[in-house]
């Protein structure tokens, strides 16, 4: 899974450079998307419903798939930890790719 996500970030980084948008902004947007996706995942929103709202971006799709590869938790504490950890992992991968 991590290799797939990494490949998407590599291809995505080329479009970032073309857009002249800073890496912090791009990675911040991806982190927010990741948090929203994982929040929905932890709330029990079905994957097929979330697929309708994600759009056609391969990076967004990769994040959605990665979220559903993670477990769903019952307690609020564990749900919140899962959201924060997932958001941070996506941000980290983005930074690693864009700051090369």
Mean pLDDT of the chain: 83
pLDDT, tens digit, 9 for 90 and up, residues 2-30: 444 544 444 445 454 545 578 889 899 99
Entry pTM: 0.79
Looking at residue 69, its pLDDT comes to: 97
Q: How far apart are alpha carbons 51 and 46 in whole angstroms?
A: 9
Token pair belonging to 23: 């890496």
Token pair belonging to 43: 């709330």
Place of tokens 């749900």: 79
């Amino acid at each position: 899974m991590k290799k797939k996500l990494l490949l998407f970030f590599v291809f995505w980084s080329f479009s970032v450079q073309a857009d002249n948008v800073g890496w912090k902004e791009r990675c911040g947007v991806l982190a927010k998307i990741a948090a929203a996706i994982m929040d929905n995942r932890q709330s029990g929103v079905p994957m097929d419903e979330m697929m309708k709202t994600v759009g056609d971006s391969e990076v967004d799709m990769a994040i959605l798939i990665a979220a559903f590869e993670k477990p769903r938790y019952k307690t609020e504490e564990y749900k919140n930890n899962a959201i924060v950890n997932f958001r941070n992992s996506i941000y980290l991968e983005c930074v690693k790719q864009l700051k090369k």
